[in-house]
Structure 1
Amino acid sequence: MSKEVAIKQQSLPGFQSAEGFELLQRQAKMFCGSSLVPQQFQGEQNYGNAIIALEMAQRMNASPLMVMQNLYIVYGNPGWSSKFLIATFNQCGRFEAIKYKETGKKGTDSQGVIAYTKEKGSDETIYGPEVTISIAKQEGWYEKKGSKWKTMPDQMLRYRAAAWLIRTTAPEISMGLQTTDEIIDVEGKVSDVMDDVTTTIEHNANSEVIDIEPSEPTFVDAETGEILNADAMFK
């Protein structure tokens, strides 16, 4: 019986064995040839992306197609869709479904949300950090061009509160990745800062003039070692 279990474990797709990696490659090839997966996983040029997504799906015990359809590349960084991350947390079997507590006054900067849950079998409530419109404004998320914080504040508050709860309570579920909403908010802000830095460098480059007075060359007599000036040297 133990031999059968060992053989079955070795045949699982993954990086742990040559057989598992070969199976992973065959699966990736099949997904790369499908038009149902997002573009970043289609074709031979995205073969590596498909392999990584399949390995992530196995570790999360999730459907490979679901992982591929909810894993996006934003500003060159991979990120989960918020709804997929929440669904994965709710279905992991360790916690109750995420619930939300509204705080502050709706329509003002004090409006906020706290996401909370419980471990199954426990009466202790686990609260995530509070997210408010004030925080969104202070962090620069709210005023960004095309920001959803202005048009859908209730949904954005819940998405961000849930992401923070998951990251502080069970970070292994997100596998260290942010949500696409977080990447858009944070990376856009970093990009603006880097643009300012680049502009400053370009503006100040070579703006300072260093005045160096030229000195007269000196010459040494090879026989006597006497220091001669230029006039004496060329007489």
Structure 2
Amino acid sequence: MTENKNLMAVQATPQTSAVNLFDPQQFAVVQRMSSLFASSALVPDNYQISKVGKEQAVANCVIALDIATRIGASPLMVMQNLVIIYGRPSWSSKFLISTVNTCGRFEPLKFDFVEKGNLGKFNYVEYEKKWVNNPNGKSYQKTEAVTKEFDGTNIENIECIAYTTTKGGKDILKGSPISLRMAIEEGWYTKNGSKWRTMPRQMLMYRAASFWTSVYAPELSMGMRTVEEVQDFIDITDTAEDVTAQVEAEKLSAANRTPLSFENEQGESLSEPVPEGVDPNTGEILPENPSKTATSVTQEEEEAPAY
């Protein structure tokens, strides 16, 4: 009986192979398929020629087809569930769970909830970005750690663990426990517009499934995070930004709009006249009799003894 179950599990496992883009024949086939998908109105905007142009749409479809063949999924499903967040490709959590459930290697994912009492009051660290202005015009964002107090007196701390077994196996594969306290300490709960406040149990299941897949089936997610993970991700790296153009624009906007003139309305110069005996260009005091001074200097040089 056990051998039959194992045989069924092997047969249910999809045989997948990646697209070889260095093979001219495969590359030509993939390009034709990508052009077909890019002309469809059923794919998201990032894959449509009418939305992003032919070259970008076809290129995006080629990447989606490659991912679909690697994980054994439908290309349309991949396009519908591969989302670009902050320039990073990420999966929707529902698609990731369905991929695990239908891959043929595991039983469907299950979730275990544990209620651990109220959170109470505790301190957590929140990262805030502040602008640092440099005199050279190259300002940058500096991340500072700020300790704050969270009041969770009326909030229950719930812990969720994703688990399942292999097809035909009995060993339980447990993922990392995810709790509301962890969500608060990691900054997921306190972000503006966070869904952790309105649907905590749903977010716990999504995050627990993502953590489970990263450990037991990373080839299904191909190392990519889920949409919710990318949205909750906090980058604490200091980033520099050249604001020279911005500084110059501020200088122009704050400078005098009317040019200053050193002449009055009659066109006469407002500066004081140059005194007699002063060079108007350099401001040096001229000798009283330049010719006499030059002659006396020449005579002194001639009368000087030669050594």
TM-score (norm 2): 0.57
The alpha-carbon deviation at position 46 of structure 1 amounts to 2.0
Q: Which moved more, 1:107-116 or 1:177-186?
A: 107-116
The alpha-carbon deviation at position 142 of structure 1 amounts to 0.2
Structure 1 residues 106, 35: CA separation in 2 closer, same or farther (over 3 Å shift)? farther
Which deviations, in whole Å up to 9, do the C-alpha atoms of 1:71-96 show, x marking residues without a partner? 00000000000000000010000000
Pick from 163, 167, 172: which aligns with 1:120? 167
Alignment-derived partner of residue 96 in structure 1 = 107
Structure in which a larger fraction of residues adopt strand: 2
The alpha-carbon deviation at position 106 of structure 1 amounts to 6.9
Structure 1 residues 182, 132: CA separation in 2 closer, same or farther (over 3 Å shift)? same
> Equivalent pairs: percent with the same residue?
45
Measured in 1, the distance between the counterparts of 2:166 and 2:27 equals 35
Larger Rg: 2
Measured in 1, the distance between the counterparts of 2:83 and 2:211 equals 19
Alignment-derived partner of residue 17 in structure 1 = 23
Alignment-derived partner of residue 42 in structure 2 = 36
Structure 2 gap segments, 5+ residues each: 1-17, 119-154, 245-307
Measured in 2, the distance between the counterparts of 1:198 and 1:111 equals 39
Measured in 2, the distance between the counterparts of 1:73 and 1:120 equals 33
Greater RCO (Cα-Cα under 8 Å, separation 6 or more): 2
Q: Map residues 150-229 of structure 1 onto 2, 5 A cutoff.
A: 150-186=197-233, 189-190=234-235, 193-194=236-237
Which deviations, in whole Å up to 9, do the C-alpha atoms of 1:1-39 show, x marking residues without a partner? xxxxxxxxxxx9642521111100000001111111001
Tell me, yes or no, if structure 1 residue 145 matches structure 2 residue 145: no
The alpha-carbon deviation at position 60 of structure 1 amounts to 1.1
The alpha-carbon deviation at position 121 of structure 1 amounts to 1.5
Measured in 1, the distance between the counterparts of 2:117 and 2:39 equals 48
Q: Which moved more, 1:27-36 or 1:15-24?
A: 15-24
Which deviations, in whole Å up to 9, do the C-alpha atoms of 1:130-183 show, x marking residues without a partner? 000000000000010110000010100000001100111110000110000000
The alpha-carbon deviation at position 105 of structure 1 amounts to 3.5
Which deviations, in whole Å up to 9, do the C-alpha atoms of 1:100-121 show, x marking residues without a partner? 0001347745311000010112
Measured in 1, the distance between the counterparts of 2:156 and 2:76 equals 39
Alignment-derived partner of residue 64 in structure 2 = 53
- Secondary structure in 2 matching 1:150: coil
CA contact (8 A) 1:112 1:130 kept: yes
Q: Which moved more, 1:39-48 or 1:166-175?
A: 39-48
Measured in 2, the distance between the counterparts of 1:103 and 1:130 equals 10
Measured in 1, the distance between the counterparts of 2:29 and 2:99 equals 25
- Secondary structure in 2 matching 1:113: strand
Measured in 2, the distance between the counterparts of 1:164 and 1:79 equals 14
Which deviations, in whole Å up to 9, do the C-alpha atoms of 1:28-72 show, x marking residues without a partner? 001111111001111113221110001110111111000000000
Structure 1 residues 158, 106: CA separation in 2 closer, same or farther (over 3 Å shift)? farther
Runs of 4+ in 1 over 3 A off after TM superposition: 105-109
Counterpart code for 1:130: P
Structure 1 residues 28, 194: CA separation in 2 closer, same or farther (over 3 Å shift)? same
Counterpart code for 2:223: G
The alpha-carbon deviation at position 198 of structure 1 amounts to 5.6
Measured in 2, the distance between the counterparts of 1:13 and 1:121 equals 31
Structure 1 gap segments, 5+ residues each: 1-11, 203-235
CA contact (8 A) 1:14 1:24 kept: no
Alignment-derived partner of residue 27 in structure 1 = 33
TM-score (norm 1): 0.74
**What count of residue pairs does the alignment treat as equivalent?**
185
